[in-house]
Structure 1
Amino acid sequence: MSQFTRRSLLVAGTAALTTPRLALAHKVTLPDHFNPTAVQTGRTDWLPGEVHVVPDEFHLFLMGLDGAAIRYGVGVGRKGLYETGVFTVARKAKWPWWRPTQSMIRRDPGKYAKYKNGMKGGPNNPLGARALYLYDDQGRDTYLRIHGTNAPSTIGSAVSNGCARLTNEHVKDLYDRVEIGARVTLHPKVTTA
């Protein structure tokens, strides 16, 4: 488990109190609760600098001090593809390269086979403007990402292949606030719908 410095904890705590002004940065109007908002979670067991994805609420929380957080709206993995667990942000990328997994190609070859050799980063790339790469405790890439999307209307729904997605504008803000080594918890779904 990565140790945070005193400075990184203070920065994370301060960052959580500073709400980004991104509500009107994209063309799709999101419900207010999906725009980045400073909130008090009441969760003192969620530590500064950690990221928590709560799939039933379609929210991601970047934690600050004493339960303060920035709450972002997200889209999550569709039924059968959302994976729970605790992970580590092992790397980050701007306008990341993308290649569908073999499972994605098998599930929907008509959609994904043409990208089997990958796709360079850019506005049409499914990972969007930024990506946080989630690794397990053994240092292995899980192929789970927190990333942007060029389909902001999918925020607040379970449509992805397992990753958590934010609007490109919101993921740029999150990317600048999350450090390599940050712990990410993808909480279980409580509802089955």
Structure 2
Amino acid sequence: MQFHRRDLLKGLMACAAFPGVAEASPASGDGRGLYGAVTGDKFPIKAINLSRINHAFLRAEVPYATREPAGTIVIDPRRHYLYFVNGDGTAMRYGVGVGRQGFAWKGTATINSKQEWPDWYPPKEMLERQPELMKAMKELQSGIGMPGGPRNPLGARAMYLWQNNKDTLFRIHGTTEPWTIGTNASSGCIRMINQDAIDLYGRVKVGAKVVVLGSGRGNEIAIGPGSTPTQPAQSARAPEVRQPVAAVPQPRAPLNINPYPMDRTW
């Protein structure tokens, strides 16, 4: 299917919501070791209420057979998983929220940029339809938008997907609605628990390949030549889980200014 930027802009107005697999064994036994409060970041992040999230979607290292090289991200929308390929027959697996029916996509892309606490620039059409959003908007470097922060729907981190040197307008990002992980809730973007988005941000490099598998619903927008054969080593609903891995330590650095005026997605 041909990729149309105008149609995509309409579809990506709700990649995240404005705020108002198999059982894994997290490091602490109940997930608090991975999803506790974060106090050392630019903004504090609350601990995740794991009673609202299916534990099948908690972060864990799992066996994973793939032809993709280490450092590749593979997203399986049908199972609501994102895999970061380790290169030793394993992958770090994260639960994600994906595009709802009508806004799914598949193909290959590249991580062109990563941003901490990214600004959000809602489309003009959204502001016209939801004028109440203007209360949270400010005049930013790239136009009217919401500064990065705890209430920003892009969450704590965003990774920007490009294809053929063009912005696809799709992102992998955190969320203010962690209970939507494991569901088809967005309009195409890949949303993660903030703690997981921070962990992935610390692992993936700019320039990394991203492979998005088909959802099986037959309505994906193809953004690249397609994915290479990539399959988990076992059923996604009953994998043999290795020792879960805690967050990767990250050196603190000044927040990068968002260089993309067209970053008007969520």
Q: TM-score, normalized by length of structure 1? A: 0.80
Query: Would you say how many aligned residue pairs link Structure 1 and Structure 2?
Result: 171
Return the match for 1:22 from 28, 34, 38: 34
In structure 2, the partner of 1:119 is 146
In 2, the alpha carbon distance for the partners of 1:191 and 1:79 equals 8
Residue pair 1:98, 1:119 contacting (<8 A) in 2 also: yes
Cα distance in 2 for partners of 1:168, 1:179 equals 18
- Whichever residue aligns with residue 47 of structure 1, its letter is P
Structure 1 segment 129-144 matched on structure 2, within 5 A: 129-137=156-164, 139-144=165-170
Query: Which residue of structure 2 lines up, in the alignment, with residue 8 of structure 1?
Result: none
- Identify which of 166, 175, 185 aligns with 1:149: 175
Find 2:78's aligned residue among 56, 81, 88. Answer: 56
Q: Secondary structure at the match of 2:174?
A: strand
* Superposed displacement of residue 177, structure 1: 0.5
- How far is 1:32 from its partner? 2.3
The answer for the alignment partner of 2:201 in structure 1 is 175
Residue 152 of structure 2 aligns to a residue whose secondary structure is coil
Pick from 77, 93, 105 the counterpart of residue 126 of structure 2. 105
Q: Which ranges in structure 2 are unaligned for 5 or more consecutive residues?
A: 1-26, 37-46, 138-142, 220-266
The structural deviation recorded for 1:111 is: 7.2
Q: CA deviation at 1:28?
A: 3.6
Partner of 2:230: none
> Which residue in 1 is equivalent to 2:92?
70
Structure with the bigger percentage of helix = 1
CA distance in 1, matches of 2:110, 2:169: 12
SS in 2 for 1:91: strand
Cα offset, 1:64, TM superposition? 0.9
Offset at residue 178 of structure 1 (A) = 0.5
Please identify the structure whose Cα radius of gyration is greater: 2
Structure 1 position 142, deviation (Å): 1.0
Q: With CA pairs under 8 Å and 6+ residues apart, which has the higher RCO, 1 or 2?
A: 2
Residue identity opposite 1:53 in structure 2:
I
Q: Which has the higher strand share?
A: 1
Per-residue CA shift, 1:82-123, capped at 9, x if unaligned?
221100000000000011245x729x8227874682111001
1:112–1:162 Cα change, 3 Å = farther
Q: Which 4+ stretches in 1 moved above 4 angstroms?
A: none
Closer, same or farther in 2 for the Cα pair 1:111/1:60, shift >3 Å? farther
Q: Distance in 1 between matches of 2:93 and 2:195?
A: 14
Alignment CA distance shift 1:112-1:157 (3 Å): farther
Paired position in structure 2 for 1:36: 59
Deviations 1:33-68 (A, max 9, x none): 21111001122x122100011001000000011331
Residue 11 of structure 1 is matched in structure 2 by none
Distance 1:61 1:182 in 2: 13
Q: Is the 8 A contact 1:46 1:67 kept in 2?
A: no
* Distance in structure 1 (CA, Å) of the matches to 2:123 and 2:94: 26
